[in-house]
Structure 1
Amino acid sequence: MNDALVLDKLLDGYDNLKLPGNGQVKVDVEIWVQEVSKIIEITSEFELDIYVTEWWVDPSLAFEHLNPCKKIISTDGAKVLHQIWSPHACFVNSKQASIHRSPISNIFLQLYSNGSVWHNYSTFPIDQQKCMLFYESFHHNFQEVRMEWTQSPILLLKENITLPDYVLIGYKAESVKRLYPPGVWNELVATFTFRRLYGFYILQVYLPAYISTFISWISFYLGPTNITSRTTVGVNALLALTYQFGSVVNNLPKTSDVKAIDVWILISMGFIFISLIELALVGYLVRNDHQSTISCHCSWLCFQCTEWTAAKLDKASMILFPAAFLCFNIWYWGFFLG
């Protein structure tokens, strides 16, 4: 018998609501990753193009006894899939999922003479939170349909998957049991790990923050009497960094946890603010064109110098500020990159 006659014979009187076999079906699942399109940090989403493959055995679709011309029949998946039983699996945490059409629905369906069914389709799910996909049967719980990964559950169709801001560095597949009010569902979890490419942030955030901090130190070299010029330099550096911090925050997710970039900008702003405090002390010492001094009796804290003038304060700041900023950089990059 040819393929059309075999298919007509199989679907004649077929009940697509009846569970195949003895009432419990094992469904093997694979995911083929073709492309990761984008990652949206603000809404905690990522978008990818994948092929989902399902494999199960339905004795009602066995056709070896019909003396077929071929042992494997390829069918019009978009049409035939609705006429046979399927696990009706879905990505439960997706915001949107669609079957790829170019120009027709890309649904592949093969029937084997022993009743095995191979189902494959292309989809674009947009996931939220931690770049994880949760795949499970929507209609059938664990007692009826057991979802399992194949030996090679996730296959990358491209050697390297790289986005403008991220690169895929790892992925894993696991199976968990999820408790719902109607019962226990078998859930397949695919986790994709991306590493950020931070070259953009080096140029757009860190480098300008370095420049703003260095500019604030110029006031130490302008002399104690140029209070107006020194104030302009310090305030402008602080305003520039504050404006840049606002621009960065607008492009980041609204979370309560402290991010590495928050630590960097806030500490940089702290250095600029302390330089303005130092300027206030210098202005106090040279007020009314009189050179005043500050007496300190804690010799161990004041470097054996009990009399502080405006000039001595500037010279100490020339050394202390860069040294403290260097120590902060060593700690920061060692901690967050290490």
Structure 2
Amino acid sequence: MDLHKFPMDSINCWLTFESYNYNNNEVRMRWNQPTPVLKFKEINLPDFYMVNHSISIREANYSAGLWDELTVHFHFQRRYGWYLLQGFYPSFLFMFTSWIPFYLGPKAIPARTMIGVAIDWWILCGMTFIFASLVELAAVGFKMRNEGRATFRVKDLPKRGGRGGKRKNALVSCERLDHYSRIAFPAIYTLFNVVYWTYYMFIAKSTT
């Protein structure tokens, strides 16, 4: 599975049939012609749809002889409509909204500034929260990795008091950081939404 083109990617699946115990001297396998693959009903998957399928046959060389291998190849394409609606469409709205000031005219400077600043603050704060969560994840991983390396360096040395306590304290501190983040991030983002929408829906309207 190659996800470089996600969500416009496709998946190739291969299903191979082969005799378990008998080689070609005892059993020969061939595809049934003219319809080797029958679909009893239409295949409907939530994330993919089948584009086509193809068949092939080859002889596999093993130490015990030759075996016929019958392979059917299924080509699936991802249904990217959901990703367009949930991922690309909101981004389009951001872009289209940012173009509105171009049509307000040069005399509507306050309105132009209001739209630009409001959108900029929303996007900037959202990106800041995402970046902060990645920083927290990196900090926890870095601290745990450093503690693991330190433990590895001294594993052959005589045991001394306090080493296990340091390792335990490091684990506890990382868990405490995750615990605080689980509370702080949603709380701060909720507070930001309250302040943001209160200001731009009520305070900013009354002052313009």
Q: Normalised by the size of structure 2, how large is the TM-score? A: 0.43
Q: Normalised by the size of structure 1, how large is the TM-score? A: 0.28
The structure having more radius of gyration, on CA atoms, is 1
Structure having the larger proportion of residues in helix:
2
Structure having the larger proportion of residues in strand:
1
By relative contact order (CA 8 Å, sep 6+), the higher-ranking structure is: 2
